[in-house]
Structure 1
Amino acid sequence: MAPKDDASLNRKEQILDAAASLFAESGYYKTTTADVARAVGVTQPYVFHFFKSKESLYLAVLDRAYRRILHAFAAVDAPPKHLQETMGKAFVELLVDHRDEILLVMMSYTTSEAAVRDYTRREFETIFERVKARFEQAGLEDAEDKASSFIGHGLLIAMSETLNLPHICRWREKDPEKYGVSAKPAKPST
């Protein structure tokens, strides 16, 4: 690949990173392509060089995040009895490493744009089918129910993170040092 191509791909990734941050912070409707351009230090027409509209930019951010999720779940190598837990840890690692993108994916169903909702529906269906297939291949009983609960738990994690209500879903407490959670003081004895 030519250096110019590398620079162009790098700039596109920078645009996606900035867009993910801005969409996560301000939402789809309040974020503009001009905001994204300003955050990256490029012109708005340069953003349109890669993405024909704000909606296509948003969908590209979601697509990159969905691919991350599918890859993370596919890469999990664990014995059947630890598969769900290990896949859950893979999701948490994604949330820690790519917080904005993963929260956008998990909350994208709230965007009322038809193309976004259709895309979100298809991708969640794909994730569900892949998770269910992994559970079936592992020989887990009730794979469909387990896949449904697994995805539901991911949505609960995303909601608790988005609303800053960590007590709704205490995933961080499972490894406080890693996720920067201070230990709770011991309750006084009575």
Structure 2
Amino acid sequence: MTPKDDALNRKDQILDAAASLFAENGYYKTTTAGVAASVGVTQPYVFHFFKTKESLYLAVLERAYQRILYAFSTVDAPPEQLKETMGRAFTELIGSHRDEILLVMMAYATPEKEVRAYTRREIAIIHERVTARFQAAGIPDADVEASSFIAEGLLIAMSETLDLPHLCRWREKHVEE
């Protein structure tokens, strides 16, 4: 492994630790010193990759948004099963990258101006992509269906975050399958 590979691996470790800490403690109670300690590096090393806590948070969100977009764009299903299959891809993401995905779904509540603006842009992109997939599949009222699909994702995230699975019976049904 080259030093560059080691650094990229460390950067991923920092992002993983940050996602976990942000999800557990929230934006304001998470510190870059805490992230550094959980990875076993110094705080200046974290700042080598991310100049501020906000830029670290945004990097965690960016990675998660990319996972969501990739999952939704690579789902292969017949039109009548597209929404269901995309929903399953989303719940699988929660299973494999829970902290990141929940942060994405709750980032709109972070009052930092840049975080809110970034979240608004990314959710709009997700909505556009989901709408386009639904239109291509011939789903009637694709725009409305995409909004409902995203709303279901927000409900899933809320039920996960609050540990209230009965808020979202749809999610429970797919976890059992």
The normalised TM-score by structure 1 is 0.91
Question: Per the alignment, in what secondary structure is the counterpart of residue 166 of structure 2?
Answer: coil
- Quick check: 1:175 aligned with 2:164? no
Q: Which residue does the alignment assign to 2:160?
A: 161
The normalised TM-score by structure 2 is 0.97
Instruction: Indicate if the aligned counterparts of 2:88 and 2:174 stay in contact, CA closer than 8 A.
Output: no
Opposite residue 49 of structure 2, the aligned amino acid is F
Choose between structure 1 and 2: higher helix proportion. Answer: 2
CA distance in 2, matches of 1:72, 1:66: 10
Q: Which residue does the alignment assign to 1:7?
A: 6
Cα deviation, residue 57, structure 1: 0.0
CA distance in 1, matches of 2:121, 2:15: 21
- Quick check: 1:149 aligned with 2:118? no
Unaligned 5+ segments in structure 2 are none
Q: Which residue does the alignment assign to 1:75?
A: 74
Aligned-residue Cα RMSD (Å) equals 0.9
Q: Rg larger in 1 or in 2?
A: 1
Q: Which residue does the alignment assign to 2:33?
A: 34
CA distance in 2, matches of 1:90, 1:173: 14
Cα deviations across residues 130-185 of structure 1 (Å, max 9, x unaligned)? Answer: 00000001111010110000000000000011111111012123332x6xxxxxxx
CA distance in 2, matches of 1:81, 1:71: 21
What's the % identity of the aligned pairs? 69
CA distance in 1, matches of 2:134, 2:150: 13
CA distance in 2, matches of 1:92, 1:48: 33
CA distance in 1, matches of 2:85, 2:18: 30
Unaligned 5+ segments in structure 1 are 179-190
Cα deviations across residues 5-50 of structure 1 (Å, max 9, x unaligned)? Answer: 1100000000000000000000000000000000000000000000
Question: Per the alignment, in what secondary structure is the counterpart of residue 141 of structure 1?
Answer: coil
Question: Per the alignment, in what secondary structure is the counterpart of residue 175 of structure 1?
Answer: helix
> 5 Å matches for 1:87-106?
87-106=86-105
Q: Which residue does the alignment assign to 1:131?
A: 130
Opposite residue 130 of structure 2, the aligned amino acid is V
Instruction: Indicate if the aligned counterparts of 2:64 and 2:104 stay in contact, CA closer than 8 A.
Output: yes
Q: Which residue does the alignment assign to 2:53?
A: 54
Opposite residue 78 of structure 1, the aligned amino acid is A
CA distance in 1, matches of 2:91, 2:174: 11
Q: Which residue does the alignment assign to 2:113?
A: 114
Over 3 Å counting, the alpha-carbon distance change for 1:162 and 1:44 in structure 2 is: same
CA distance in 2, matches of 1:175, 1:39: 31
Q: Which has the higher contact order (CA 8 A, sep 6+)?
A: 2
CA distance in 2, matches of 1:87, 1:146: 12
